[in-house]
């Protein structure tokens, strides 16, 4: 089991590096990256099931959001992108808002249409 977790962590690190997410000197996080990371939760967002579980691809994506929200500017960017997603997928806004809780991740802001990301 430990080797599976290690392999998963290595795979995610390689993917994040490949995506350029560990380029600490880079500008704000773009919404394409946020959307890509959340896309692994699409079944839950669209249909309400299966519930995301820590360690699942969905939760790994949500955890990656937390990793890239490493500065105030990046946190604001991630927040703004997520607010855009809940505006676009209004009927599924609650599902998007519950992702951090299901995954045990604290993003440092509430995913809610009324959240001010500044």
Q: What are the pLDDT tens digits along the chain (118 aa)?
A: 554 444 444 444 444 444 444 444 455 789 999 999 999 999 999 988 899 999 999 999 999 999 999 999 999 999 999 999 988 888 788 999 999 999 999 999 999 888 999 9
- Cα separation of 80 and 84, whole Å? 6
- Whether residue 50 is preceded by a cis peptide bond, meaning omega within 30 degrees of 0, is yes
Q: Which residues contact 63 (CB under 8 A, 6 or more apart)?
A: 103, 105
pLDDT of residue 88: 86
Structure tokens at 60: 């790994």
Nearest to 21 by CA among 99, 111, 12: 12
Q: What confidence score (pLDDT) does residue 102 get?
A: 95
* pLDDT value at residue 72: 92
What's the CA gap between 108 and 89, in Å, rounded?
A: 22
What pLDDT does residue 27 have? 56
């Amino acid at each position: 089991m430990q080797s599976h977790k290690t392999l998963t962590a290595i795979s995610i690190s390689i993917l994040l590096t490949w995506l350029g997410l560990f380029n600490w000197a880079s500008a704000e996080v773009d919404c394409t990256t946020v959307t890509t990371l959340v896309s692994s939760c699409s079944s839950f967002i669209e249909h309400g099931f299966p519930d995301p579980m820590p360690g699942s691809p969905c939760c790994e994506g949500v955890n990656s959001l937390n990793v890239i929200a490493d500065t105030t500017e990046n946190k604001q960017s991630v927040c703004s992108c997520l607010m855009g997603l809940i505006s676009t997928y209004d009927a599924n806004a609650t599902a998007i808002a519950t992702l951090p809780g299901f995954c045990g991740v604290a993003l440092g802001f509430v995913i809610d249409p009324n959240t001010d990301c500044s």
